[in-house]
Structure 1
């Protein structure tokens, strides 16, 4: 099939979304599909730039800046982004392409106009991959009320949903949010599990054996450290283990809370916690091979369900999980059902400490624990399965005269 994928993150960025989309695009090529990825780029003068990456055509289209700027400028840039991308697309050699399907990835919630334009031209269907439900999660976190800004972002998100023929959400718990959308004619709602490809095996620049944590059982966190993660409780937990010489904590990544957390650890005198800047995703397996437990942290104010990309990397590497998540999150049930770690839903450091101690004991006695993690990954989170599922949404037999209804 000839498919186009719209996103706003992709390598050389190192975010979990960029890695996910890199892996997804590679798998489309491996399965014999022709894929073009459309990305906004604020750092190029020319309207468009084409390159080939791992058998996939990548089109970087000039658009306003939307990263690492203030909220007002970012919102304005995101509003203009799909129109700027469409303008650059129309000037590129891709302008006359006909697609068998349009795929786009949220976040961002602003891709709707571009996806709609490409669907109309090709008379094809659209598949929206939803990885977070914005602005709902921002309201849950107390970052936004339900006033005018919320109503604006909600309208943008709902327009994007209206463009899709199929929406793939992360977990069954997220389906309830889209039940009203699902009632529309010809719409399909399904769970599209997060995915991850096998990473390249690259030696990690972080060598725990060369640090003060050498020889310890290490809890590791690798990923974004922002308001959505609620990482302070991890430092609270580390403080509980401060008197033990056999346990340590390694936190790797970036985010708006990273410096604050590092300063907090220093102020508390936590010599059992080490912070490192983000590393290349291909170094992650070697990092995890040096550790005993992976940490998942989600702010307890979340009400939606989320299976973070870092959880997949832990499973892939056979690393059991200690999770502090919002109450009722599908991830907690998954961890308990598959017996691949411990999950705390109360955001209480006493409960988290008890679970951490219990998990450390299990790591010592349960030789099958790493294998269960790897088996879960292969069963539910392979990128090959994700691609087959997306392609199936475009292959459903439909009378030719109904093919253009997707643009209505």
Structure 2
């Protein structure tokens, strides 16, 4: 049995934020406490008037440290803010009640790629190991998407990312396909690379504020997308799909969330007069299970220009709720093999409208004939994506 550890978890997202990362870290924190560990979550907070704020949330100690703003601002200001963030956090940590705490392990979450200076100082002071949880490989994915070349900005971000890797003793990536990016790093004998699947805690039972039966989609089979709507998702093809299926009065599309593309997608839907599409602002994560109980198929979307592998958090929420998935993702993504192997939906790798339309029609037939599909979805979630398993894996790596 593993002895209880005093752990610190460093991130830049946590409740009350509603991002998938915030929900993931909330669930991991709760589970670490349930397993008997003493956990402190350390976060930057741009809106603090004081230097630090210490609170308790579900048995977790949460220390918010004053730092520059990094959310909802332009890229240049965000980059400067994120670069300065760990130094501000380290400065104000020294003035907080936790200044002299010795940790048994430091865990941190990327994105952001900028936490390494703070992590390094905590590790050295406590002489402990550090576990880096990587959920996307930046700046590589930005190059894949055409958002960045391999010029000076790329070299800057790549240097920051590589420094972050150098500070880590263990790196947990989310799919086997991402391991190749760290081949050189893991040649160091003291370093360990492993696959740490995404995770979610047990679902909450809060009623959803969205009642489909009270909307124009009442009585239809609902394709639902809940989450970020940004450049990385490449969601235009989903509206093309909805337009192709307008003749089917039994099918509807529900989009719930926020993001840089959300308003643009709403405008496109309105311009095309898509009567089978509804948009809603993001809802509290605890409302998601009740929303999905009103739906039939979950949508996963990733821009086809991605080259890295990604299993989005929304895929986990669909599996947890027993929702088969229709996925439109980059070719070769590990997620495709999982969906096909586990028979929990259908996946398109070509980003071709005709193919995704054919798959959507096929999946609508399958959910009628294959009554075991929701059970397979839930079984996959329990086997691969529980918060309990993720917490035990992290602790085990830190104590070996």
What is the aligned partner in structure 2 of residue 194 from structure 1?
198
Provide the residue aligned with 1:289 in structure 2: 293
Which residue of the other structure, out of 140, 143, 147, is the alignment partner of 1:139?
143
TM-superposed deviation, 1:269: 1.2
SS of residue paired to 1:91 = coil
**Pairwise CA distance, 1:185:** 2.7
Corresponding residue number in structure 2 for 1:37? 41
Q: Distance in 1 between matches of 2:273 and 2:76?
A: 38
The equivalent position to 1:247 in structure 2, one of 233, 244, 251, is 251
Deviation per CA, 1:367-391: give whole Å up to 9, x if none. 1000000000000000000000000
The Cα of 1:182 is off from its aligned counterpart by 0.4
Give unpaired runs (5+ residues) of structure 2.
none
Matched residues in 1 for 2:60 and 2:18: separation?
18
Pick from 332, 338, 344: which aligns with 2:336?
A: 332
Per-residue deviation, 1:394: 1.4
Contact 1:125 1:394 in 2 (8 A): yes
* Of 14, 28, 32, the match for 2:32: 28
Corresponding position of 1:400: none
Cα distance in 2 for residues equivalent to 1:79 and 1:160: 12
Q: Does 1:387 align with 2:391?
A: yes
Match of 1:83 in 2: 87
> Secondary structure of 2:133's match?
strand
What residue number does 1:53 align with?
Answer: 57
| 2:227 aligned to which of 223, 227, 246 | 223
**Deviation at residue 199 of structure 1 after TM alignment:** 2.3
CA–CA separation in structure 2 for the residues paired with 1:54 and 1:290 = 29
Alignment partner, residue 405 of structure 1: none
Distance in 1, Cα, partners of 2:282 & 2:88: 31
State how far apart, in whole Å, the 2-side matches of 1:317 and 1:185 are: 41
Q: Hey, what's the Cα distance between the residues in 1 that align with 2:278 and 2:326?
A: 18
Rounded Cα–Cα distance in structure 1 between residues aligned with 2:57 and 2:293:
29
Match of 1:349 in 2: 353
Please state how far the C-alpha of 1:200 moved relative to its aligned partner. 1.4
| Superposed CA RMSD | 0.4
Distance, in Å, in 2 between the alignment partners of 1:341 and 1:389 is 28
Aligned to 2:214: 210
For the 8 Å contact 1:218–1:250, the answer to whether it is kept is yes
Moved over 3 A (4+): none
Alpha-carbon separation, structure 2, partners of 1:185 and 1:120: 19
CA distance in 2, matches of 1:48, 1:123: 25
Question: Does the residue aligned with 2:255 lie in a helix, a strand or coil?
Answer: strand
Is 1:170–1:306's contact at 8 Å kept on the other side of the alignment? yes
3-state SS of paired residue (1:307)? coil
Confirm or deny that 1:114 pairs with 2:118: yes
Unaligned runs of 5+ in 1: 397-408
* Equivalent residue number for residue 106 of structure 2: 102
Q: Give the SS at the match of 2:231.
A: coil
Q: TM-score, normalization: structure 2?
A: 0.99
> Pick from 153, 157, 170: which aligns with 1:166?
170
> Counterparts of 1:375 and 1:243 in 2: how far apart (Å)?
35
* Paired residues, number: 396
Q: 128, 134, 139: which one pairs with 1:130?
A: 134
2:390 partner SS: helix
> How big is each residue's C-alpha offset from its partner over 1:341-387, in whole Å with a ceiling of 9 and x where there is no partner?
00000000100011111111000011100000000000000000000
Question: In structure 2, how many angstroms separate the alpha carbons of the residues matched to 1:358 and 1:266?
Answer: 27
> What is the match of residue 18 of structure 1?
22
Q: In the alignment, what sits opposite 1:270?
A: 274
- Secondary structure of 1:250's aligned partner: strand
Provide the secondary structure at the position in 2 that maps to 1:37.
Answer: strand
Distance (whole Å) between structure 1 residues aligned to residue 138 and residue 168 of structure 2 = 16
User: The residue matched to 2:357 in structure 1 has which SS?
Assistant: helix
Following the alignment from structure 2 to structure 1, what is the Cα–Cα distance between the partners of residues 102 and 317? 36
